[in-house]
Amino acid sequence: MTPQEELALISTTFTDITDLQRGQMKALWELYTDWNSKINVISRKDIEHLYLHHILHSLGILKVLKFAPQTKVIDVGTGGGFPGIPLAIMLPEVEFTLVDSIGKKIKVAENVANAIGLSNVTTYHTRVENLKEQCHFVVTRATMPLAELVKLSRHLISKEQFNALPNGFIALKGGNLAGELSSFGKKAMEEELYPFLPDLYFKEKKVVYLPL
C-alpha cells in the first residue's frame, strides 16, 4: 500500500474520526519523514509504512479500551511518540505523558506534538523509574517484558478509578507471549489485533492488558 492508502485505512477503521484529526494524521507524514532524516527514530525502510506499522498499530490499543475523558495515560519508552501521539490525536480529552530516556527521541515526539497542536501531550526526558507523575494507565509498544514494565512503573498507577476497565498496563506486543505472560496467570488479557486492524501485517500483533 502507498502512504495515502495506509492513511485512508485509518479513516475506514475509525469511522468517527473528525476532519481535524484527519488533518493531524495527514501532517504526521511530512513531520516524521523530515525528523527521521535527521534523527533515526524509525528504521529507514520502515518509514514508508509510517501509517500502517506505527500509527494504525498504536491505535490498536483502542480495541481494548477507549479511555474516558480526563484519563491520564503515561506512554513508557515512547521513542518518537508511539503509541502516545496517535492516541492523543484520537482522544483529545485524555491527558498523555510521553516518556523516554533518550533525549533526541523525546525531542522528536515533543516537536511533532507541538507542530500539530496537541495540547493534551506532555513529554519527559527521564527514566520511568524516576518519574513522579500519577496516571490511570501505562501504555507501551514492545519496549520491555511486561514483568519488567510492571516493576519499573507500578508506582505511577493511581488508585482513582473511572474507566470501563480497572487501572493498569496496556502493551502492544507480537508473537507467542505464553512464556512472558505465564507469571500473571489469568490476570493478563491477550487480544488479537487482526481483523480489528484489517491488514495481514497485524496477524501476529496483539494488545495485552494487565490490571494492577
57: helix, strand or coil: helix
Neighbours of 5 (CB within 10 A): 10
> With contact defined as beta carbons under 8 Å apart, do 86 and 113 qualify?
no
Rounded distance between C-alpha atoms, residue 171 and residue 145, angstroms = 10
Check whether 141 is labelled as a binding-site residue: yes
Check whether 154 is labelled as a binding-site residue: no
Cell triple for 155: 508506582
Neighbours of 154 (CB within 10 A): 12
What b/e sequence results for 160-188 when a residue is b if at least 16 CB atoms lie within 10 Å of its CB, and e otherwise?
Answer: eeeeeeebbbbbbbeeebeebbeeeeeeb
94: Cβ contacts below 8 Å, ≥ 6 apart: 67, 68, 69, 70, 71, 72, 73, 87, 88, 120
Check whether 64 is labelled as a binding-site residue: no
Check whether 128 is labelled as a binding-site residue: yes
Neighbours of 20 (CB within 10 A): 12
Check whether 41 is labelled as a binding-site residue: no
User: Binding site for S-adenosyl-L-methionine: what residues are annotated?
Assistant: 77, 82, 128-129, 141
User: Binding site: what residues are annotated?
Assistant: 77, 82, 128-129, 141
